[in-house]
Amino acid sequence: MISDIHGNLSALNAVLNDARDSGAEKFIFLGDYSLGLFEPNETLDALREIKDAVFISGNEDRVLVDDSSIHVDIPSTGQFHAKYWYRDYLTPDNIFFLKSLEKTIVLRQERVPPVFIFHEPEIFFNGTAVSMINPHFYALGRDSGKFNSYTFPDFYSTFLSSDHKLTEILPMLEDGIYAFGHTHIQWHTRLGGKLLINAGSAGLPLDFCRKAAYTLLSFTDGEWIAQPRRVFYDVELTLDRFKSSYCMRSVPVWCGIIHMELETAREQATPFLQFTEAFARQAGDLSRPFSKKVWEASYKSWVNSQEDIK
């Protein structure tokens, strides 16, 4: 199970090689394939060549190809510049591929519990602790000392089992696998007859570990078993190539944020948006989405503030 590649072809290739070496016979892809790094078309081209693969769409895949979300009155050089740029950059074949994807799929075979695959945990677990385990939540937890990479499994097991709304929802769901991505935080847990799996992010992990994440799933002795995997690839080389890419030159604010996330394995988008909201209000600019002037000036100020912290 592979999720959230975000145009990082080097990470995708590393994960595919590791999975094949580990005996993987089929691939399940959980969305968000292209918008992010500097090789969106190359990543989608590689994915479309994979045999024995199942794909569902992610939220960013749907945003890219949803024609109804393209509004000419929204300045494409401001906050939503990246969406327009990636949409224009994708080939027609890759746009067609993304448009063809379903939001959810259920994989069934005789005498085996079903596998429900989807991107956002909110599809099945909205309003529960499952959807709360996001990158901002993870960063705050690490910063406050609530958990570290070793104690995180114990933390989220307790966090999930103590959520009353989740306890109410689970009996209404069919027993089986519930596999998703979206949050870029890798974890899994068994709750009764349900095995919940967040495959993490192959291309842009945000759990303070830069290794590409994915999850092996096997059916052994009548039971589904999840094996989280982390795979080394040359992140520094990818960062260098990203920095000098056409994508970075074309969409510098978006790519600058993603570059920082790749480098730190920590979410930067939420802190930046919070910073930009305060920056815009201080400047007396209440237009939303953020204009080109505010977007770029805020980014420059935010980068300087990050350098001061270092």
Output the pLDDT for position 179: 98
Query: What pLDDT is recorded for position 301?
Result: 96
Q: How many other C-beta atoms lie within 10 A of the C-beta of residue 107? A: 15
Q: Which residues of the chain have pLDDT under 70?
A: 68-77, 308-310
- Can you give the pLDDT at residue 74? 52
Tens of pLDDT, residue by residue over 148-201, are 999 999 999 999 999 999 999 999 999 999 999 999 999 999 998 999 999 999
Question: What is the identity of the amino acid at 209?
Answer: C
- Look at residue 139 in the predicted model and tell me its pLDDT: 97
Answer CATH for 9-231 from 3.40.190.10, 3.40.50.620, 3.60.21.10, 2.40.128.20: 3.60.21.10
What is the model's pLDDT at position 210? 98
Contact 259, 236 (CB under 8 A): no
pLDDT for 307 equals 75
Q: What pLDDT is stored for residue 228 in this prediction?
A: 98
Q: How far is CA 179 from the centre of its chain?
A: 13
3-state SS record for the chain = CECCCCCCHHHHHHHHHHHHHCCCCCEEECCCCCCCCCCHHHHHHHHHCCCCEEEECCHHHHHHHCHHHCCCCCCCCCCCHHHHHHHHHCCHHHHHHHHCCECEEEEEECCEEEEEEECCCHHHHCCCHHHHCCHHHHHHHHHHCCCCCCCHHHHHHHHHHCCHHHHHHHHHCCCEEEEECCCCCCEEEEECCEEEEECCCCCCCCCCCCCEEEEEEEEECCEEEEEEEEECCCHHHHHHHHHCCHHHHHCHHHHHHHHHHHHHCCCCHHHHHHHHHHHHHHCCCCCCCCCHHHHHHHHHHHHHHHHHHC
pLDDT at 73: 47
pLDDT of residue 308: 67
Q: pTM to 2 decimals?
A: 0.95
What residue spans define the domains of the chain? 9-231, 246-309
pLDDT recorded at residue 222: 83
